[in-house]
A and B are shown apart, each in its own frame.
Chain A
Amino acid sequence: MPEPLLRASGVCLERGGRKLLHNVDLQLRQGEIVTLIGPNGAGKTTLVRVVLGLVRPGSGEVWRRAGLRIGYMPQRMHIDPSLPLTVRRFLSLASTDINAMRAALRRTGVEDLLENPMHSLSGGETQRVLLARALLRRPQLLVLDEPVQGVDVGGQADFYQTISKLRDQLQCGVLMISHDLHLVMAATDTVVCLNQHVCCQGHPQSVASHPAYLELFGKSAQPGIALYTHHHDHSHDLHGDVMPDGGGEHHRA
């Protein structure tokens, strides 16, 4: 069995009297893709921040393998419009090796963007550039917070494919957050369904039919009639109607 890269046990966190995380366990091994799913406000990003060491948990323990190199792709990237920054200059913050930059961009499929200004990129292009920066760290662990945000559905499937290909090439572990189990299913080994606590976890197929998962996401979450679109800028319930056209760009405000 591959060695573990990180382990969190009994993690609890409260903010302003509200429980964000309650007794959460999480483990990730080398070469494994673990996906956190859960409704908005379930604590997914908080858990990732705890695991990265950005937030100290109220109680519980987080262990990372000593010297673990992490490539992190944050959920949002807001660069002030007053800061002129090309993709090359942005990447150079992680590594100044131009060949490494090109290679990373090639891996994420956006090599031609090297000299473009960051502000001119579309949502999908930005995500791929962010992923390239994470790769420049030669990561043993990739941490991706909602990597397909602002990417259209066709692009989302592509993106997940890129990630699972990267895992095969780099033999790194991947921890990512997703809203949608069914899109991410093919590209993940383990799904952790989070709603302040871990509701259920395991192989994606087994989670998809787990009572706790179905209770959390409702009937519409069953395979075959899955919702493919999310408006990420408000909390959603998944009891809504099935969207027949299911595609299209979703631009964030």
Chain B
Amino acid sequence: MAGASTTVPDFLLHALLAGIGVALVAGPLGSFAVWRRMAYFGDTLAHSALMGVAFGLLLSINTGVAVTLGCLLLALILVLLQQNRFIATDTLLGILSHSTLALGLVCVSLFDDTRIDLTAYLFGDLLATNLTDVVTIFTVSALVLLALGLLWRPLLAITVHEELARVEGVPVTLVRTALMLLMALVIAIAMKVVGVLLITALLIIPAAASRRLTRTPEQMAAGASLLGCVAVAAGLLASFYWDTPAGPSVVLSAGALFLLTLLRKQAA
């Protein structure tokens, strides 16, 4: 690290590493979010993360832990509610997404302004990441990637056709629940990078961009990781030179990459 600091400031290096750590895992996970149309689901989990922050402060436990637990809990609740189908899924997600965000905002406002920086949670605080954050992000990212690798085939099978997968012996509910939980984990670590309002962008945009360039699910997932890393680097550079907010700059870079891929004819 010390050697690198002669050319790149430490805070920028940490930010870059943290961003890449998230982008790597966001690629395959975001691909599933696109294939399974889970964008709104990701939004709901992300919005609830702010509530996790508030509860963390309220109960005086580590915010990261509180956010992670909150996301995991909400993911489980969503799985249960979805199975009951008493209300259309998008309506359910809309209700939960905005109620939890509003609740988070209200709770956070109850705290003293000095204790909490709302903007950092909403839009990320990438330039304030430290070495501990980087290590945490890489650990979680590696674990989630490992789990995705192990579950890849059943995950793909339930994405292609759930009932066919069930008849062929895939434990559908278990696999689907696992995917939701993995997504909750990644959202908890991605919050630091782009904030609760922009997390879904980091999942969806690189995957959508990668779709236009690839012919297999694996290529698309890997391509999404790569494009995500490029977006992180480009966003940070823009942020460094033009003093723009880092998280939104990363998302904008991803958006620009997506626009670029539109120039290319769709691969089959």
A positions within 8 Å CB-CB of B: 49, 52-54, 70, 72, 74, 77, 79-80, 82-86, 89-90, 93-94, 117, 119-120, 133, 137, 143
Contact = CB atoms under 8 A, between A and B. Distances in A.
Contacts of B165: 93
Contacts of A82: 34-35, 207-208, 211
B163 A84 contact: no
Contact of A84 (B159, B168, B220): B220
A51 to B, nearest CB: 11
14 contacts: A52-B163, A72-B164, A74-B161, A79-B161, A80-B34, A80-B37, A83-B217, A84-B214, A84-B216, A84-B219, A85-B217, A93-B153, A117-B268, A133-B164
Contacts of A133: 164
B208 to A, nearest CB: 7
Contacts, number: 65
Contact of A74 (B153, B159, B163, B220): B163
A84 B153 contact: no
Interface in B192-226: 207-208, 211, 214-217, 219-220
Interface in B163-178: 163-168
Nearest to A94: B168
Nearest to B165: A93
A15 B180 CA distance: 29
B156 interface: yes
B267 interface: yes
Interface of B: 34-37, 153, 156-157, 159-161, 163-168, 207-208, 211, 214-217, 219-220, 267-268
> Lowest 5 A-B CB distances belong to which pairs?
A72-B167, A117-B268, A83-B35, A93-B157, A82-B34
Given A54-B166, A117-B268, A120-B268, A90 B215 contact: no
B16 to A, nearest CB: 29
Nearest to B218: A89
A117 B215 contact: yes
B161 A77 contact: yes
B122 to A, nearest CB: 28
B211 A84 contact: yes
B217 A89 contact: yes
Nearest to A137: B168
B160 A83 contact: yes
A89 B214 CA distance: 14
Contact of B163 (A54, A89, A93, A119): A54
